[in-house]
Structure 1
């Protein structure tokens, strides 16, 4: 079943093309790796899917609905793109609580369990401004999964994590695969892509070419 579709999508910035005539179909319940060097457009691709950017021409659809018309942002997406912003003088739990209040779908216990799952202590009094890069990455992962989002858009989810944390997050993502969640992942580590992804696309010559 097609979940996400890009149809003849073009995107440029100040006349410099990033994508030209991209046609991609993402199936529900599969995990996709998006590869390409820095600056190739991986984050732009994710932002187009999430409605953060509009294509110059072409159409992005999620579950058959065009993104950017009545459906500004897709529902039930958990997203890490670039570095999320947080309230620096609040704790990790307090930050996630603020985000959870937007939809008011989960309780404090769910937030606590999610923090523990990614390797953070929900009772820690440490402010986010004193977090290490790895801790901030875990907090980003927690916000992306805490509401049981069914589609995960994860731009470098293993960035700044130590080996133990990488293994933990890999196992978590593998469990999401068995649950039938749809995931799109970028990683500079080929091993992450090999272990997690059913299909792989590489950005080349302003388009996406399927290599697996």
Structure 2
């Protein structure tokens, strides 16, 4: 069974049609790339899968449950969409700690280990107001993976990362795939798409086309 399924999904904003009668099946344990120009609907597609917004028509299922009907937000998703906001006067660790308390799944050591995994180990006591854009992006990735989320929805996850950090993230995502996690990502860099993705879909004229 597909872990994510879109059936005849359509979405428009102010009469601007972004997606029309889109079907998509996402199978467990693969990396899927979604590509297309700015404004084509990639982020909107991801937000609908996460339950942040709803389609005008059609249905979206995550792990067999319909978003907006059977469940409001799907469980066990790690999400990087837009630039997350953080409490400026708290450290990176403290920000992640606040988020971890929502579900209470992980301890402090797990947070620190995850920060080290993405290259923030030396900065976990530094206040986020002093973080660079790249460090903030790494913190967003930490939030998305620190609870071992099995589905990762990553919208331009490599933004603001230097070459070494991108290489670290590539290895990490490929490791997650080997563990059986499912990953959807967007990137304007074709190198990222070719290096990581098992399947690639392009948004073209409001439709998803496999390429």
Corresponding residue number in structure 2 for 1:86: 86
Q: TM-score, normalised by structure 2?
A: 0.97
Consecutive unaligned residues of structure 2, counting only runs of 5 or more, are none
User: How many pairs align?
Assistant: 211
**117-126 or 24-33, which moves further after superposition?**
117-126
1:123: Cα distance to partner? 5.8
CA RMSD of aligned residues (A): 1.0
**Structure 1 residues not aligned, in runs of 5+:** none
78-87 vs 124-133, which deviates more?
124-133
Question: Is 1:106 matched with 2:106?
Answer: yes
Aligned partners of 1:125, 1:23: CA distance in 2, in Å?
45
- Distance in 1 of aligned mates of 2:124 and 2:8: 48
Q: Counterpart of 2:165?
A: 165
Q: Deviations over 1:59-110 (max 9, x none)?
A: 0011221101130111100000011111111110000000000000000000
Please give the TM-score of this superposition, normalised by the length of structure 1.
0.97
Who is 1:118 aligned against?
Answer: 118
Q: Structure 2: how far apart are the matches of 1:15 and 1:198?
A: 34
Contact 1:86 1:95 in 2 (8 A): yes
Q: Does 1:190 align with 2:185?
A: no
Asked whether the equivalents of residues 112 and 122 of structure 1 are also in contact (C-alpha less than 8 Å), the reply is: no
TM-fit CA distance, 1:16: 1.1
Query: 3-state SS of the aligned residue for 1:2?
Result: coil
Shift of 1:14: 1.2
Q: Give the ranges of 4+ consecutive aligned residues of structure 1 lying more than 3 Å apart after TM superposition.
A: 122-125
Offset, 1:192: 0.7
1:178-209 deviations in Å (ceiling 9; x for gaps): 10100001111111111111100000000110
In the alignment, structure 1 residue 45 sits paired with structure 2 residue 45: yes
